[in-house]
Amino acid sequence: MTATTASCILAKLAATGDAYAKGQPGARESLIALSRELIANLELSSEFLQRSFWAEPAMCASIRLAVDLDIFGLLREAGAEGVLPDVLAEKVGMQASLLKRLMRHLVAMHVLELADGKLRANSLSNGLAMQDYQRSIMFCFDVSRPSLNSFPSYFKEMKYQEPALSKIDGPFNKAFGSPLPFFDWLNANPPNLQHFASFMACYRDGKPNWFESGFYPVQERLIAGFDPSIGEALVVDVGGGRGHDMVMFAARYHDHPGNIILQDQDVVIGEIESKDAQPFTAIAHDFYKPQPVMGARAYSLHSILHDWDDDHAAKILENLKPALKPGYSRVLLNEIVVSEDEPALAATAMDMMILGHLNVCERTEAHWRTIIEGVGLRVINIYRYPGSAESLIEAELAL
């Protein structure tokens, strides 16, 4: 790397830092991307190997171990006072010398802090101490890593071709020796489905929601023109998990007209606490069957179609069509739209994850248009938000 290149990146970092201080959307994500670019240009090949193949895998393994022993929770409870490593080791039943080595590495990786001989939590570790993040760590380490680690041997056996669309012969199946598709395996091997649901909730944490100001114009495109004589539902969240999106949607548009409907599998709907107190009506629905809620203003699918190959994605959209009112109902696809020129890390990382688990891919704009138009819908617009890998594709019945 030349000094000129370093100077250019540092200048961009300074300018983006000013934008971040002013609260400009996308500035935080740009700072992270520029920081990664600076590291990539400064790092020697030997340092890259040490970080990528030693430090980061060891960090992940130590974090997974910390989940089993609730180390992050104990450090959060200790607060600013912190805990002596020997005391923490006695609490969790670990040899003190081993705990010191593992936690020392997490300190070096900035997951924890160490001062005056005491281990202390920080904002990152306190976040990881939350239940959904604890479950997410279990899912990522126990399920995702084995699938990704099987890439070299799997693709060698496949003569370096993409997996078939059968969903029963991919990297995930090789890693776990199972003939079951990913979601069937999750259902058959509890508590992995619950861990995956937590992961999806955490995956969305901190990301801009499609209904935020500056993303998709909800007031103009949904609320204005709502007609209860066509259908009582304002939004139907298809495959909406435990209602994360709809809780925030209802809070933001608390005086919205119409009803909010949440749909997902029986087991997911069953996990929703205090259903009567929720701002939505939760019903079990299989999106491979015809949509039962007719004439809604909008049918929202957040990160649903990317889990499926083109044929299955088309089938899901086909099942919405009979419920759509021409010129009125919207289909809102909150999905990654991959840039072919400047791919974002968030987009490519998710592409690798679904390649490993589901034998599918994230799609470019041209790919999305082919699927949507192929089922008799038309793309009205694609809305994007600074710093977000996800976009909002708005479609309706083609006339």
Q: Which residues are catalytic?
A: 306
With CA atoms as reference, report the closest residue to 383 among 209, 210, 207. 210
CA distance 4 to 307: 43
CA distance 274 to 157: 49
Say if residues 367 and 376 touch (Cβ distance below 8 Å). Answer: no
Count of H-run helices and E-run strands, the chain: 20, 10
E-assigned strand segments in the chain: 113-115, 118-120, 233-238, 259-264, 281-284, 298-302, 330-338, 363-364, 377-383, 390-397
Bridge partners (DSSP) of residue 330 are: 298
Helix-strand-coil percent breakdown of the chain, rounded to 5? 55, 15, 35
CA distance 96 to 394: 56
CA distance 198 to 192: 10
CA distance 37 to 66: 30
CA distance 266 to 207: 27
End-to-end CA distance of the chain: 55
Interhelix angle 96-108/56-69, rounded to 10 degrees, is: 130
What tokens were used for 306? 């990317």
Say if residues 9 and 32 touch (Cβ distance below 8 Å). Answer: no
Bridge partners (DSSP) of residue 282 are: 262
